Amino acid sequence: MLEYSMLYPKTTKLRRSVSIDGMWKFHIGSQNGDQGEAGFKNGIPGNDFIPVPASFQDFYTEKEIREFAGDVWYEKDVFVPGEWEGNKVFVRFGAATHRAVVYVNGKKIMEHEGGFLPFAADVTDTVHYNEFNKIVVRVNNELTVTNIPCGETILLPNGKKMNKPYFDFFNYSGLQRSVFLMAIPKESVFDFDLDYEISGKDALIHYHVQTTGEHPVELSLLDASGKVAARAEGFKGVMKVKDARLWQVRNAYLYRLVIRIRDGEQILDEYEQEIGIRTVKIEGTSILLNGKPVYLKGFGKHEDCDIVGRGFHSGVMKRDFELMKWIGANSFRTAHYPYSEEIYQMADREGFLVIDEVAAVGLFESLMNFMEASTGKRTAFFEKETTPVLLKAHKRAVEELIARDKNHPCVIAWSLLNEPETSNEAAVPYFEEVFRLAHELDVQKRPRTFALIMNSVPGVCKCYQFSDIISLNRYYGWYVKGGYEISEAEALFRKEMDAWKALKLNKPFLFTEYGADTMGSDHKLPSVMWSQEYQDEYLKMTNDVFDSYDFIKGEQIWNFADFQTTEGILRVNGNKKGVFTRQRQPKDAAYLLRKRWMELPLAYKAQEKGL
Ligand code: EVA
């Protein structure tokens, strides 16, 4: 069990939660991490303020700041109401990338590593009630091979540190998600698990509530009009919902679950959350939602936009969902890290299927793994001395991820790694542990998967057997035989798919990546690579291949939108594989995809029997 509750901050009868987003004092610290206990814990120098949530990198005009590797410091004075005394008081960070130390009134409260999941600092005994209190956060953004995502931090000859990601997105960092101040009753709801069973027109909700005390709990389920649909008492049990309205793809029905702790007539705590009744199951090569086959259409995405970088922005989120609806998508993968919680809440409401990915990317020692994988390069990644430390961090992130996201109906699968090196036996025990843990922790036993890199093919890949859904990242026609050689790319693509078919795995396959870099500004007749015409040709070829194999049960193109990466000769101011530009306007390919996805039925390929 985690040391703090992962429940999203709420204000209810007995809980208070106040956003402390806005302008925070900011200071670029030392590269050597030596200013912690020394001085800044009581207040940071200078007079610079930046918005939270946001990545700090793209506000400034100095390259030294954008590329900075080391500690950055945030500070905020917050007033803690006197009425809160007697409660537990927390400062709750949606995320701090990649590691943080929290000080309140000069006292170190906690540390957290892992840049994409929440943590809560218990400040009950540290804050002064009915007064202002100083929160100082030291955030470190250095990449290592002992934490996810993986990379390294090098020292340049000029003495400056530099981050070298083993992954293809800019190492945006800072306080990129919302921060809340919360007051929670001493005896409170800590966590809950739900699992669903559909029986005829009714549904059973198997539940388990954990609290921090002994008093009894009661649950009520309210329908969308606020009417009570079911009730139950006790920490563990079953709620029966008559004539249940199911949560369906792009047709979400949400109930509101209210959990109360009672001491006789007195309510000690109340927590509530929107939930959706649905089941997820893999049967043969089918992905079943509520017992019915679904075909996934959609994207690998990023949290990425101009100016705020990876910072959560509700306007960008809204635009992205509108574009996904317009194009006929029904799903996305949170590549390559858990996204802001508000995005899952929106997916719950909009009925999108989410493959929820932990930040285990870069487990292949290469600065250009998207290129080198297709050359057959091997790096013995899982044989490093440091692998046990990495595994510990990875498992901790899986635990936090599942605790945070398990009750979202939108989450239909866990993606436990992106493009790890699987050509070596050393990967096997590592995979075993991570996959077993996810299975143990998830009461719903959702399917587990990982995204297979180009060279993870039959005969080479030692780990695909762990996946309940085989997810392929493939770039035939881009990194392999692009342009006029596309017919050869298609032949190689089909050859690989035939090899998978021959294995008779009887599992669904999903394309979690395929795509071609395309300049939104460029047309060329006849086409050349990078032109919009070529992106269309590439898609036609790829779609033909998808349509030829019944066991392929979904397509999530890379990427939803152009996004920022490290600078380099393979990236033109970022990755340009977006179907939309970074400003969220369509490239030509968006219209081609829209036509296809609007026409493909949800139960596409439902008829086939096995492989
Ligand atoms: C690409 N390919 O080359 C993408 C990367 C992505 O951005 C991959 O999973 O295989 C990676 O992160 O465009």
Burial class (CB in 10 A: 0-12, 13-18, 19+), 265: exposed
pLDDT at site 610: 45
Residues near 64 by beta carbon (within 8 Å), at least 6 away in sequence: 160
pLDDT band at 120 (very low <50, low <70, confident <90, very high): very high
CA distance 365 to 269: 48
* pLDDT 10s digits, 586-609: 999 999 999 999 999 999 999 754
pLDDT at site 106: 95
pLDDT band at 82 (very low <50, low <70, confident <90, very high): very high
* pLDDT 10s digits, 170-182: 999 999 999 999 9
pLDDT at site 365: 79
CB distance 338 to 399 below 8 Å: no
pLDDT at site 30: 76
Tokens 């109906």 belong to 409
Residue 367 has pLDDT above 90, yes or no: no
Clarify whether 83 is annotated catalytic. Answer: no
User: In what helix (H) or strand (E) does residue 212 lie, and over which residues does it extend?
Assistant: none
pLDDT at site 38: 61
pLDDT at site 140: 96
Say if ligand 1 is within 6 A of residue 500 CB.
no
Mean pLDDT over 531-557 rounds to 98
Mean pLDDT over 436-440 rounds to 98
Please report the atom of ligand 1 found closest to the CA of residue 418. 9
Q: What is the pTM of this model?
A: 0.97
Q: Which of 113, 142, 513, 555 is catalytic?
A: 513
Say if ligand 1 is within 6 A of residue 418 CB.
yes
Residues near 322 by beta carbon (within 8 Å), at least 6 away in sequence: none
Say if ligand 1 is within 6 A of residue 575 CB.
yes
Long-range contacts of 160-164, Cβ-Cβ distance < 8 Å, separation of 24 or more:
160/31, 160/64, 160/67, 160/69, 161/31, 161/69, 161/70, 162/67, 162/69, 163/67, 163/69, 164/367, 164/566
pLDDT at site 611: 42
Closest Cα to atom 12 of ligand 1: 168
pLDDT at site 585: 98
Say if ligand 1 is within 6 A of residue 562 CB.
no
Q: How far is CA 263 from the centre of its chain?
A: 38
Q: What are the backbone angles phi and psi of residue 609, rounded to the nearest 5°?
A: -115, 105
pLDDT at site 374: 65
pLDDT at site 1: 81
* pLDDT 10s digits, 4-57: 999 999 999 999 999 999 999 999 987 776 666 567 999 999 999 999 999 999
Please report the atom of ligand 1 found closest to the CA of residue 575. 13
* pLDDT 10s digits, 481-535: 999 999 999 999 999 999 999 999 999 999 999 999 999 999 999 999 999 999 9
Q: Where are the beta strands (DSSP E) in 338-486?
A: 353-357, 411-418, 448-452, 470-473
pLDDT at site 379: 77
pLDDT, averaged across the chain: 96
Q: Which of 357, 358, 513 to mutate to test the pocket of ligand 1 (most atoms within 8 A of CB)?
A: 513
- Tell me, in angstroms, the distance from the centre of ligand 1 to residue 168's CA: 6
Tokens found for residue 307: 């100016």
Say if ligand 1 is within 6 A of residue 357 CB.
no
Tokens 């917050």 belong to 78
Say if ligand 1 is within 6 A of residue 558 CB.
yes
Burial class (CB in 10 A: 0-12, 13-18, 19+), 285: buried
- Tell me, in angstroms, the distance from the centre of ligand 1 to residue 368's CA: 9
pLDDT at site 35: 62
Say if ligand 1 is within 6 A of residue 370 CB.
yes
Please report the atom of ligand 1 found closest to the CA of residue 563. 7
Q: Which of 75, 142, 400, 419 is catalytic?
A: 419
Closest Cα to atom 10 of ligand 1: 370
* pLDDT 10s digits, 325-339: 999 999 999 999 999
Residue 376 has pLDDT above 80, yes or no: no
Say if ligand 1 is within 6 A of residue 419 CB.
yes
- H-assigned helices in 285-415: 314-327, 341-350, 369-372, 387-405
Say if ligand 1 is within 6 A of residue 513 CB.
yes
pLDDT at site 369: 65
pLDDT at site 370: 66
* pLDDT 10s digits, 214-252: 999 999 999 999 999 999 999 999 999 999 999 999 999
pLDDT at site 378: 76
Share of the chain above pLDDT 70, in %: 97
Residue 203 has pLDDT above 80, yes or no: yes
Three-state DSSP class for residue 181:
strand
- Tell me, in angstroms, the distance from the centre of ligand 1 to residue 575's CA: 9
Clarify whether 419 is annotated catalytic. Answer: yes
